[in-house]
Amino acid sequence: MIQRKTRLTPFWPQFQEFFPLALLILATLLASPAVAPAKDLDADLQLSGRRLRAAFQPVVAAARKSTVEVWCQNKHVAMGVVIDSEGHILTKASELQANPTCRFYDDSEIRSKLLAADREYDLALLHVDKDELHPIQWAETDMQEMGRWVITPGLEASPVAVGVSSVKSLDIPKIRGKAWLGIEMDVAVEQAKIQSIRPFSSASRSGLRSGDIILQVSDIVVENRDKMFNALKGYSPGDSLFVRVLRGQEYLNFQVTLGRSNEDHFHRQAIQNRMGAKLSTRRAGFQGIMQHDTVMSSHDCGGPLLNLDGDAIGLNIARGGRTESYAVPVSILRQRIEELQSGRLAVKLPDHVLPDVPNVELVSRETEVVETILPEPPPLPEN
């Protein structure tokens, strides 16, 4: 009679090595008292918590007087920072609409004028007529050591948010994918007439409406739907463009920051990035920026980022992901501010070729004063 040999499973050698350790762990658990479940950290003590932010009030005491909120169409769209006593304010360009209003720590609100825009770093230079301004105190150099506290001031005594610096210098390439305006065209007419607008799209945020007839995209005159679609082909997500429409008996002007096609809206990475605060529409295409893990909303970008001495080490420029916020460091800001104030990046209302429509008056979407029509948007990022 043939004796059958017992065949060991392939994992038996590994099990023999692990078995003594498993016995030791089991004995320790049996001899130890029951372990209480972990308790969540008090919400007030978390990074965005009230008590933790209050601990940084001395840090932002001076800088909050230099910080402004930028409002467009009764909506808070960005932060800004006073850079000199002449009324110049630096902010994030792609969030701006017509006639931005600046709100200060003393509750004053002043209509500003857009002077210049920097397409490379999405910066805009505004001007306000206000006395007793408090220019920001810039740090002498960029933050050299990572893992340090960084603080984002607001208008209140406590900062808007706090975080930790992550990467000193980082290049963020432009977002790949199809730019998305979020409109459906009326195919019953030859004109580029908007039939419907998708909720939460770029068109919806900018103020475009169903029934608007698109006449111009940046410097391209649009005679029909095909011309409009061709005009949009050269743009990428995050690009800003000027759009002029005919609404009823008025020519209206808009600045639109294009979003990304929602084709990957439900992809895992997209879902994870959307957790927490809303991301910035223009959040890529930067070079040499600093990354930190501050959890902030997109409308908190455009203002200063401080170190523990209360000096501005940069300007928050984009909310890029679930744990990623970006800031333009002070060394680059000094160069860009000089360029913005030189006049070479001045924003001017371009010459437009408009169709001959009888009884149509050129007016602003907010006022009938022609001089306050939305200027030309920032130049588009280079490929």
Q: Give the domain CATH number at 313.
A: 2.40.10.120
The tens digit of pLDDT for each residue in 73-83 reads 788 999 999 99
What pLDDT, on the 0 to 100 scale, is given for residue 25?
Answer: 59
Q: Same structural domain for residues 130 and 69? A: yes
Residue at token pair 């006073």: 82
pLDDT exceeds cutoff 80 at 55:
yes
Considering only residues 358 and 238, tell me which one the structure prediction assigns the higher pLDDT: 238
Contact 135, 66 (CB under 8 A): yes
Residues in the chain: 383
Structure confidence at residue 152 as a pLDDT band (50, 70, 90): very high
pLDDT in tens, 216-225: 887 788 888 8
Residue 70 lies in a domain: yes
| Judgement on whether residues 73 and 130 belong to the same structural domain of the protein | yes
| Domain contains 212 | yes
Tell whether the model's pLDDT for residue 269 goes beyond 70: no
**pLDDT band at 24, cuts 50/70/90?**
low
Percent of the chain at pLDDT > 90 equals: 42
Within a domain: 336: yes
Pick from 260-269, 292-301, 308-317, 371-380 the range whose average pLDDT is largest: 308-317
Residue 56 located in a structural domain: yes
* Pairing mode, strands 361-362 and 250-257: parallel
Two structure tokens written together for 215: 């006449």
Question: What does the mean pLDDT of the chain come to?
Answer: 79
Residue closest to 75 by CA, chosen among 44, 46, 97: 97
Whole-number Å distance between alpha carbons of 329 and 332? 6
Instruction: Identify the band that residue 193 occupies on the pLDDT scale cut at 50, 70 and 90.
Output: very high
pTM above 0.85, yes or no: no
Based on the fold, state whether residues 82 and 159 are members of the same structural domain: yes
Residue 325 makes CB contacts below 8 A (sequence gap 6+) with 163, 291, 292, 293, 294, 295, 296, 301, 316, 318, 319
Q: Shortest CA distance to 168 belongs to which of 373, 55, 321, 327?
A: 327
Q: Would you call 261 exposed, middle or buried from its count of C-beta atoms within 10 A (0-12, 13-18, 19+)?
A: middle
Looking up tokens 């928050």 gives 316
Give the SS3 label for residue 219: coil
Question: Taking residues 143-157, what's their average pLDDT?
Answer: 95
Q: Is 214 within the bounds of a domain? A: yes
What residues make up the domain containing 129?
50-173+277-341
Q: What proportion of the chain, given as a percentage, has pLDDT over 70?
A: 72
More confident of the two residues 280 and 313: 313
Helix (H, G, I), strand (E, B) or coil at 226: helix
**In the block, which residue shows the tokens 């997500």?**
237
Cα–Cα–Cα angle for 340, 342, 345, rounded to 5 degrees: 50
**DSSP code, position 383:** -
Contact 83, 96 (CB under 8 A): no
Mean pLDDT (whole number) for 281-286: 85
* CA atoms of 278 and 274, how far apart (whole Å): 7
Assigned domain for 352 exists: no
Domain count for the chain: 2
| pLDDT of 163 above 70 | yes
* Beta carbons within 8 Å of 17's beta carbon, 6+ residues apart: none
Q: What is the pLDDT of residues 234-250, one digit of tens each?
A: 777 777 777 888 888 78
Is the same domain home to 288 and 163? Answer: yes
Burial of 64 (0-12, 13-18, 19+ CB in 10 A): buried
Write the CB contacts of 100 (distance below 8 Å, at least 6 apart in sequence): 70, 71, 72, 77, 91, 111, 112, 114, 126
Nearest to 294 by CA among 323, 315, 264, 270: 323
| Identity of the residue numbered 115 | L
The per-residue pLDDT for range 105-139, each reduced to its tens digit, is: 999 999 999 898 898 899 999 999 999 999 999 99
What is the structure's pLDDT at 181? 86
Mean pLDDT, rounded, for 227-237: 82
| 7 occurs within a structural domain | no
Whether residues 161 and 283 share a domain: the answer is: yes
Please give the pLDDT value at position 48: 65
Whole-number pLDDT of residue 353? 47
**DSSP, res 22:** H
* Region of 351 on the Ramachandran plot (φ > 0 left; ψ -120 to 50 alpha; else beta): beta
Q: Give the C-alpha distances (Å, rounded to integers) separating 377 from 92, 133, 270, 337, 349.
A: 12, 27, 28, 18, 9
**Does 148 share its domain with 57?**
yes
In this structure, are 195 and 283 located in the same domain?
A: no
**pLDDT tier at 44 (50, 70, 90 boundaries)?**
low
What is residue 381's predicted lDDT score, i.e. its pLDDT? 41
Stretch (H or E) spanning 362: strand 361-362
Per-residue model confidence (pLDDT) at position 203:
86
Q: Which two tokens stand for residue 301?
A: 């970008």
CATH of the domain at 185: 2.30.42.10
Domain for residue 100, yes or no? yes
Q: Are residues 213 and 80 in the same domain?
A: no
Do 96 and 138 sit in the same domain of this protein? Answer: yes
pLDDT the model gives residue 272: 46
Q: Pick from 252, 256, 255: which is nearest to 362 by CA?
A: 252
Query: Is the pLDDT assigned to residue 36 strictly greater than 70?
Result: no
**Cβ neighbours of residue 55 closer than 8 Å, sequence gap 6 or more:** none
